[in-house]
Amino acid sequence: MNKEDKKLYCKLNESIKISQSCRDTIYNTFDKLPEKEKHIEKYSKLRLSVAITFCSLFLITGIAFGKDIGELFQGLLSHNKGIISAIENNFVETNPSKYIESSNVKAYIDSVLMDDYKLCISLSFELPAEYAKENIHRIEIPNIIIYDENNNILYQMAMKEIDYSFFNNPEISEDNFSYQTSSSIGWAEKDGNIYSFSYIIDSNGFPKSRTINIRFDEINLVDKDLLDYELGLSDMEIINRATLYHISGKWELKYDLSQKTYNRENYTYKIKNYADYPFNFPKELIVSNTESRLEFSYDLHNISAGEDVSMDRDAYIQTQDDKILITECEHEYNGYNAYCRYFFQLSIFNSNSTMQLVIPRDNGKDIVLQLERIEK
């Protein structure tokens, strides 16, 4: 921030305080809120406008991933170098699973990419001729659950109730959180009467699963033209309005992952000069097979005007021959403390043993963190 910006920042922040009447209103409103029945996560795939950057990126990923791995390179080169480098280095499972047929619909898993931060699953459905229409753009699975051999729930979507009884474990119920932090779903790609699409699921730390299991008992074939977001309608109401065909059945898919996936290892980098700046940088940076994340905080009182991290220029990691940009960053100010989170498109495949992580500052004197891989 320059002097003028800093001044404005201070004035806008200091000169306004929440009123007592507003505090009272907030507490009175709490009293009016009804208790809700606790339920497992409801993910609205339709309301992608809220999910912002990740979703738009992953929609592209989703289409290409399931259809043709080769196309992914072309389609995503300018989008996510972390995922591309993983696929280029064969860090992807591409043998289709056995298909499961129910209600004349054959379902199978095309391909899987799983590391600590990402789980990408491409699903295919072979539909009977009467369903395979041109105007089907999306396949909705209203109660899908994805879990591994240890019953870790990796992802669940419960627009329709999930029956947990198959776990034979009363402790696994709708109250169990899954590993997902966010997700997105690609549009369906048609090849004859086979429709493919992908789930792209984010996590703060997926387990090293050996088997992926997917269960659901309903699919909805949806016309995208009817998928208009409308406040006041529930997810199911929107889907019902846009659904051309509801197909009930029972699909239990299983995918055995290979050693390269469940024995994956991250790289750890020492941040050599983490203490040189008035920011609470971690001492180490973890790099997974698809991504790297840096989280830090700082007290705005401790930095002078101009020293603040820039909101206009993106952070990046400089490798020997490439500039690895961020996919997304989050800045959150809480009073005078700032919390930042950067997601870099850096994987173990496009990293070097030494690199520089650059965080631009308003005064142009950028933060340069020296990274050195810790050899095991």
Residues in contact with another protein, shown as a per-residue x/- string from 299 to 328 under the rule CB under 8 A: ------------xx----------------
Question: Is 147 within 8 Å of 169 (Cβ atoms)?
Answer: no
Q: Which C-beta is closer to another protein: that of 35 or that of 321?
A: 35
* Pairing outcome for strands 118-126 and 100-102: unpaired
CA angle (198, 69, 80) in 5-degree steps? 75
Enumerate residues 218-277 that contact another protein by CB under 8 A.
231, 235
CA distance 143 to 203: 20
Which of 104, 205, 248, 333 touches another protein by CB under 8 A?
333
- Residue 16 touching another protein (CB under 8 A): yes
Q: Which C-beta is closer to another protein: that of 39 or that of 283?
A: 39
- Residue 11 touching another protein (CB under 8 A): yes
Query: Candidates 7-15, 139-147, 217-225, 354-362 — which segment interacts with another protein by CB under 8 A?
Result: 7-15
Q: DSSP strand E in 165-318: where?
A: 180-185, 189-191, 194-203, 211-222, 243-256, 267-271, 284-287, 292-299, 316-318
CA distance 155 to 92: 19
What 8-state DSSP symbol labels residue 361? B
Matching residue, tokens 């971690």: 282
CA distance 261 to 209: 8
- Residue 78 touching another protein (CB under 8 A): no
- Residue 48 touching another protein (CB under 8 A): yes
For 126, the token pair is 């072979």
Count the residues of the shown chain that bind another protein, applying the rule CB under 8 A.
62
For 14, the token pair is 């200091």
Enumerate residues 146-205 that contact another protein by CB under 8 A.
175, 177, 181-184
Q: Which C-beta is closer to another protein: that of 88 or that of 174?
A: 174
- Residue 22 touching another protein (CB under 8 A): yes
Question: Which residues of the chain form contacts with another protein (CB under 8 A)?
Answer: 4-5, 7-9, 11-13, 15-23, 25-26, 28-30, 32-33, 35-45, 47-48, 50-55, 175, 177, 181-184, 231, 235, 311-312, 329-335, 338, 341
